[in-house]
């Protein structure tokens, strides 16, 4: 924590919960829920004692997949100080060459022995593979940062979005979970708005791209688009229905209450990341024929009056959030424009007049879910695990001595 952050943190802690919010934007508003979450994190402790080297060995498990390939790019673009990067996938891909930095990596088959000597294992090979490998990874002394839904809601697994709850990495016991992609981009966009008051209720509809279903989803959208344009019947394999020229209000399995598991994840993961059981979330998740980037229409209900201008100002000050909001000139975020971007884009900020007392605000949010919702978030968590010197760049010199 920088000196400035420490100062604003203690100032915010001193202000009683429920009183007027900080509006200078220098630090997130710390209401009772955030303070409790931070205190809980500090109190939990961890049984994990292995120190992280300044130049860790990193394994990317699922390196040939849609997320895994982006993880390799993020490690390179963020200059992650790895002493070695291992690309792992199934036996099908062993020997495949993947670009990495100025060179390439040769993919190896993932086995329990693959993790010997590894310090950080970035997993994006599906929940089943994560469950199979968890013990081998942690017994090898590596911290698993997992993109699947396998462990997210386990009590001893932190669910981390670095801009929101970085302090939660402190209590991991060998596994840290990356939240669902739809949840990540929503909480990154909402985090600066928590400075304005408590968010009581969120109504969110997602427009999720085909790449959210991985490489097979992207291939299906390409293939079906050609098939439909050529007048042929679409081949349906990756999704429940035709995705080309269609929208499917069904992502993951249905639960008994009529919501899908994807929607349930947005509800429970938002509460866990915010450390706030009182925030209510009503989601509808929809697959749309977009190749990359998820979009979300979000209606917020605050516990107090919030002006549209305050919301815009808070977004401008937010970490890794960009305001793109000039309707008079047709400016608002769109998925086709933001593939490959690390940021989360917010536009169409307006009053929701159906909420009394000027407490309602509506937004439109777009982010590259392969990056922001998966690969980038995982690599940012890995950065949080580095010793301080390595994080600030001082590690480079220290290592050469
Ligand atoms: N796509 C997204 O937007 C997104 C966002 C957030 C989280 N996630 C999560 O990230 C994970 C991967 O998603 P993805 O979209 O990247 O999927 P994907 O494109 O289908 O890639 C899956 C990867 O897992 C590997 N794999 C599959 N079975 C394996 C096995 N038995 N042993 C070793 N490796 C195996 C595949 O290797 P081969 O090439 O050898 O088959 C491939 O590298 C999933 O848990 C998903 O829920 C995805």
Span 48-64, pLDDT tens digits: 989 999 999 999 999 99
pLDDT of residue 12: 29
The residue whose CA has the least distance to atom 31 of ligand 1 is: 90
* SS (HEC) of 213-230: HHHHHHHHHHHHHHHHHC
Tell me the C-alpha distance between 264 and 215, whole Å: 24
Q: Ligand 1 pocket, 66 CB below 6 A?
A: yes
| Of the listed ranges 10-14, 158-162, 177-181, 280-284, the one predicted with least confidence | 10-14
pLDDT, position 399? 30
Ligand 1 closest atom vs CA 150: 45
| Catalytic residue list | 181, 294
Handedness of CA 258, 259, 260, 265 (dihedral sign): negative
Q: Is the CB of 72 under 6 A from ligand 1?
A: no
- 315: confidence class by pLDDT, cuts 50, 70, 90: very high
Q: Is the CB of 370 under 6 A from ligand 1?
A: yes
378 Cα to the center of ligand 1, angstroms: 14
Which atom of ligand 1 approaches the CA of 148 most closely? 45
Q: For the domain covering 57-178+375-400, report its CATH number.
A: 3.40.50.720
| Domain 184-209+247-369 classification at class level | alpha beta
Atom of ligand 1 nearest to the CA of 125: 24
Which of 90, 159, 176 most suits a substitution to test ligand 1, by most atoms within 8 Å of the C-beta?
90
Distance in angstroms (rounded) separating the CA atoms of residues 286 and 279: 22
- Closest residue by Cα to residue 209 from 266, 285, 292, 333: 292
Q: Is 8 in the pocket of ligand 1 (CB under 6 A)?
A: no
Residue 46 confidence (pLDDT): 80
Asked if residue 211 has its Cβ within 6 Å of ligand 1, the reply is yes
Q: Whose CA is nearest to atom 4 of ligand 1?
A: 212
Mean pLDDT of the chain: 90
CB atoms < 10 A from the CB of 27, how many? 17
Q: Is the shortest distance between the CB of 217 and ligand 1 below 6 Å?
A: no
Ligand 1 contact via 369 beta carbon (within 6 Å): yes
Domains 57-178+375-400 and 184-209+247-369 share a fold: no
**Cβ neighbours of 345 (radius 10 Å):** 27
Query: pTM for the whole thing?
Result: 0.91
Q: Where residue 37 falls among pLDDT bands split at 50, 70, 90? A: confident
90 C-alpha to ligand 1 centroid (Å): 10
- Mean pLDDT on 298-312: 98
What's the gap in Å between 354 CA and the centre of ligand 1?
41
Spacing, Cα 123 to ligand 1 middle (Å): 8
Domain definitions of the chain by residue range:
3-17+27-44, 57-178+375-400, 184-209+247-369
**How many secondary structure helices (H) and strands (E) does the chain include?**
12, 14
For the Cβ of 387 lying below 6 angstroms from any atom of ligand 1, the answer is no
What does the pLDDT look like over 102-111, one tens digit per residue?
999 999 999 9
Quote the ligand 1 centre to 71 CA distance (angstroms): 12
Residue 7 has pLDDT above 70, yes or no: no
The crossing angle, in degrees rounded to 10, of helices 376-385 and 66-77 is 50
Q: How far is the CA of 125 from the centre of ligand 1 (A)?
A: 4
Please state, in angstroms and rounded to a whole number, the distance separating the CA atoms of residues 299 and 4.
Answer: 32
Task: Write out the two tokens for 367.
Answer: 């982010």
Cα–Cα distances (Å) from 190 to 42, 56, 153, 197, 277, in that order, read: 24, 32, 21, 11, 16
* Mean pLDDT, residues 199-215: 97
Cα 283 from Cα 127, distance rounded (Å): 23
Counting ligand 1 atoms within 8 A of each CB, the residue from 71, 89, 371 with the most, and so the one to mutate, is 89
Question: DSSP assignment of 354-380, as one string?
Answer: TSGGGTEEEEEEEE-TTIIIIIHHHHH
* Ligand 1 atom nearest residue 63's Cα: 43
pLDDT value at 5 more than 70: no
């Amino acid at each position: 924590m920088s000196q400035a952050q420490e100062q604003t943190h203690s100032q915010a802690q001193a202000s009683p919960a429920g009183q007027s919010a900080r509006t200078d934007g220098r630090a997130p508003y710390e209401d009772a829920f955030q303070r409790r979450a931070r205190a809980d994190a500090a109190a939990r402790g961890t049984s994990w004692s292995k120190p992280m080297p300044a130049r860790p060995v990193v394994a990317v498990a699922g390196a040939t997949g849609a997320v895994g390939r982006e993880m390799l790019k993020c490690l390179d673009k963020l200059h992650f100080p790895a002493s070695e990067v291992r690309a792992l996938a199934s036996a099908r891909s062993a020997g495949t060459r993947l670009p990495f930095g100025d060179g390439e990596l040769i993919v190896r088959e993932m086995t329990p022995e693959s993790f010997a000597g590894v310090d950080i294992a970035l997993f994006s090979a599906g929940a089943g593979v994560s469950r199979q490998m968890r013990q081998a990874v942690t017994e090898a002394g590596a911290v698993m940062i997992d993109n699947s839904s396998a462990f997210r809601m386990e009590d001893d697994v932190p669910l981390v979005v670095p801009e929101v709850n970085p302090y939660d990495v402190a209590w991991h016991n060998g596994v840290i979970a990356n939240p669902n992609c739809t949840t990540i981009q929503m909480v990154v966009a909402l985090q600066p708005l928590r400075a304005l008051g408590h968010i009581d209720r969120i109504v969110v509809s997602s427009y999720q791209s085909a790449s959210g279903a991985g490489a097979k989803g992207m291939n299906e959208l390409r293939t079906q688009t050609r098939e439909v344009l050529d007048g042929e019947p679409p081949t349906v394999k990756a999704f429940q229905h035709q995705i080309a020229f269609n929208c499917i209000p069904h992502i993951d399995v249905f639960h008994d209450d009529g919501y899908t598991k994807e929607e349930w994840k947005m509800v429970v993961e938002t509460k866990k990341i915010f450390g706030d059981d009182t925030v209510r979330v009503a989601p509808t998740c929809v697959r749309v024929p977009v190749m990359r980037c998820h979009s979300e229409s979000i209606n917020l209900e605050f516990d107090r009056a919030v002006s549209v201008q305050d919301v815009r100002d808070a977004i401008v000050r937010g970490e890794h959030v960009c305001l793109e909001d000039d309707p008079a000139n047709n400016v608002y975020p769109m998925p086709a424009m933001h593939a490959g971007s690390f940021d989360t884009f917010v536009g169409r900020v307006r009053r929701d007049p159906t909420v009394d007392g000027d407490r309602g605000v509506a937004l439109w949010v777009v982010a590259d879910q392969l990056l922001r919702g998966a690969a980038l978030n995982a690599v940012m968590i890995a950065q949080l695990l580095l010793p301080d010197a390595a994080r600030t760049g001082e590690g480079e010199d220290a290592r050469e001595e």
